[in-house]
Amino acid sequence: MASRKINQIALTVSLLTSVQVQADNSITLESMDEAVNPPSTEDLLAMPLEQVMALNITTSVSKKQQNVKDSAAAVFVISAEDIRRSGATSIPEALRMAPGIQVARINANQWAVTVRGFNERTSNKLLVLMDGRTLYAPIFSGTLWETQDMLLENIERIEVIRGPGATLWGANAVNGVINIISKNAKKTQGAELSVTGGDEQVFGSARYGFQIDKHSFGRVHVQSKKHDSYLSSSGADNYDGWDAQQGGIQLDLSDGDNDAVKIQGNFFHGQFNEQSQRPMLTAPYFDTQRNQLDSSMFSLLSRWDKTLSADSDFSLQAYYDYQQHEFFHQSNFHQFDLDFQHHLKLTARHDFIWGGGYRFIQDHLIENAYYQYQPGNRAYQLFSGFLQDEMSLIPDRLKFIFGSKLEHNDFSGFQVQPNARLIWSPDSHHSVWSALSKAVMTPSRSKQDLDVWLATEPPSEETGNLPVKVTGQASLPTEKYKAEDVLAYESGYHFQASKVTADVALFYNDYSRLPLLMTGAPNLTASEAGTPYILLPVGLTNGVKGYTYGSEVSGTWQATDFWKLNLSYGYLAARFKRPDGSIHPFTDENPQNQFSLRSSFDVLDNVELDLWFRYVDKLAAINTKPVAAYTSLNLRLAYKPIPKLEFSLVGNNLLENHLEFNPDLLLGGGNNSVLERHFYFKTRLDF
C-alpha cells in the first residue's frame, strides 16, 4: 500500500518543510583599517589585479583579516563591482558567479540555492549570514531568499566558502557558508537614487549617507520592488508575482584608533502570490488554491570591535531578529543572539582565536488543515564555544590550522565538530591546501513536533476503493531522530599573478544518518464530515548514507587594461544508499556540470559592455519531469554621460526560454515557471 511514489512525495515534502535550529556562531571580525578607512571602489578599479587580490579582505574563512591566497579553504569573493557589472537585481542572481553553488529560480518569487548538493527551496545544509547575522527562518530550516531583499548597492562583497565551516560557524554550516558584507557607511556618503524598469519588473531605491563626526558615519535607505508573474510550462499565468518594501539604517562609529561600533537596523515587508495544490479526501483529491502571502521581518544588530594591541583584538555582537510569515502556515518567532570572540597572537608561531555564544528562540506556529505542531509554542536555546589555533610550521611557507566547535542545543544535545587544515605557500604566487572537517545538521522542530498532510492517493482496488491520506508524523519513529553529519575531505590550489588568478578545489563528502521515511501501520478512519479513508502515517529515521564528490575551478584574466574575463566550472556527482542497499536519489535536483564565462569590456572611458554566458546541466527530478539542460546569455550596456550618472540596459536569457527547477510539490502545484527573454533599463544618480 505504501507505494514508492508515496514515499518519494513524502520524503521530498517532509524534508522541504523541516524546521532546523541553525546552530552557528555569528560574528564576523572585520579589521579596524577596513572599518574606518576601507579602499573605495574607485581605488580598487585603479589597482592592478594582483594588488586587488592581495588585499586582506576575506574574513569569513578564519574570522580574521586574511588574504584569499592564504586561506586553506575553497573561497570565492564576489565584489561590489562584480555585482554592478553583472546586471543582477537580487542576491541569488549574484551568487551564480561563484563556482560550486547551485542557484535555480523556481518561479518569480522563489529560489533554490545550495552548495555542493541537496538543493531545495529551503536548503538546510548551507549557512547564510549578513554582516554576521543568520538569514534563515527556523520554522523552514533554511533561507527564504524572497525575503532577503537587500539593496545591492549597499553590499561591499559576498564571501562564498564551499565546504564545512562548522568549527567557526557551527552546526548547519555543513556544505558551505555565505556571508554578505555591507559597505561601511563612510563609503556611501551623499545621496543616491536608482530606478529600474522593464518588461517584468519595476524597482526604485533611495539612499542618503551622512557624517556624524570625524571618524563616524551613517546612512539610511529605502527600496521598493514589484515583479510580475511568470508563465507556467502550459502557457498559463503561474500567479507568482510579488511586491516588497525594504529599508534600514546603519551607523559606523569609531574613535579613529582602537574602537569601532556598528549599529544596524533593517525592516522588510513583502506580499507574494502563490498557486498551490492542497490534498483533499474527495475527487479530484487535490484543490488548486491561489493565495497572497504576507511576510514581515525586523532586525537590530550591534557589534563592538576593539583592538587591544597589535597582537590582540576582540569582538562582541548582539542582535534581535523578528519574523512573521504565512508560507506553509502562519508563524512568527523572536530570536536573540549574543556572541563573543577573541583573537590573540600568542607567539610568532601561534595565532589563536576563541569565542562563545548564546542563542534563544521563541516561536509561535499556527496550525491549519495541513500542518499541525504540538506544542504550537516553544522556546529553545543554543550554547556554543569554539577555539582554533593557526600554527606557523615554516614562517610564511607552511601553516597547520586545528580547531573545534563545541555546542549544546535542545534537539540533539552536545555536539563536537573538529577541523584540521594544512596550507603550503612555496612563494608569493602559489599555495596548496588540504582539509579534513566534520560538521552536523541539528535535528529540528519538525522532526519532533510536526504532523503534515503530504498527499492523497486516489481510491483503487488495492485500497478497497478508499482514498489514502498520507501524513508525515514526527512522533512515528520509535527512536529520536539524530543529527545528520558529514566528514569532508578537501584539497585545493590558489594562484595569483599580475594578470591571472586561478583557484582549484577537489572534495569528497561522506554523509551519514541522512533522513529516510519509515511507513507505519495503515488504519481505517473517517473525517469530521464522515468520509471514510485509510490513514497512512510515515516518519523520518536516520536510514541513508552515501557520498558526494566533485571539483570546482575558477579563474580571472586581465587581458588588457580595459578587458577582463572570469571563468568558473563546477562538477558534482553523488551516490546514496538505503539500508537495504537500494539507491536513494538525494541529489537529483542538482546539475552535474555548470559553466560560467563573464566578459567585462570598457568600450570607452564612459561606456561598458558586459557579457555573461552560462551552461547548466539537466536535473533528473524524481516526481516530475526532468528539467532539461539550458544555456543563458546576459548582456549589459552602460553609459556614464557624467561621472555621477549612469544609464544601463540589460537583457537576460537572450538565447532560449527555459525551466530551472521543479516546483515544491505542495507550494508550486506542479506547474513549472518558464524564464523568458526580458529586458530592463536602469538609471542611477549620485549627488
pLDDT of 19 higher than 50: no
**pLDDT tens digits for range 626-660:** 789 999 999 999 999 999 999 999 999 999 999 99
What residue numbers bound the domain in which 488 lies?
Answer: 4-686
Give yes or no for a contact between 123 and 116, defined as CB atoms under 8 angstroms apart.
no
SS3 140: helix
**Domain CATH code at residue 346:** 2.40.170.20
Q: What integer pLDDT is reported at residue 137 of this predicted model?
A: 78
Domains identified in the chain, total number:
1
Between CA 339 and CA 347 the distance in angstroms is 25
Least confident of 30-39, 117-126, 155-164: 30-39
Q: How far is CA 175 from the centre of its chain?
A: 11
Specify the amino acid at residue 569: Y
> pLDDT above 90 covers what percent of the chain?
59
Tallying the residues shown for the chain, one arrives at: 687
Query: C-alpha distances in angstroms, 565 versus 69, 107, 562, 640?
Result: 19, 30, 10, 22
Least confident of 18-27, 132-141, 238-247, 258-267: 18-27
pLDDT of 73 higher than 60: yes
Q: What integer pLDDT is reported at residue 65 of this predicted model?
A: 65
Q: Average of pLDDT values for 425-442?
A: 91
- For the chain, the straight-line distance linking the first and the last C-alpha, in angstroms and rounded, comes to 68
Between CA 597 and CA 632 the distance in angstroms is 11
More confident residue, 172 or 363: 363
Of the segments 55-69, 200-214, 361-375, 429-443, which one has the largest average pLDDT value?
A: 200-214
Q: What integer pLDDT is reported at residue 351 of this predicted model?
A: 92
Q: What integer pLDDT is reported at residue 539 of this predicted model?
A: 85
Least confident of 439-448, 482-491, 563-572: 439-448
Q: What integer pLDDT is reported at residue 52 of this predicted model?
A: 43
What confidence category does residue 49 fall into, taking pLDDT thresholds of 50, 70 and 90? very low
Q: What integer pLDDT is reported at residue 481 of this predicted model?
A: 75
Relative to beta strand 430-441, strand 398-409 is unpaired
More confident residue, 547 or 59: 547
More confident residue, 381 or 516: 381
**pLDDT tens digits for range 576-594:** 988 888 887 766 678 999 9
Contacts of 563 (CB under 8 A, 6+ apart): 599, 600, 601, 602
Q: What integer pLDDT is reported at residue 488 of this predicted model?
A: 95
Specify the amino acid at residue 327: F
Relative to beta strand 532-560, strand 468-473 is parallel
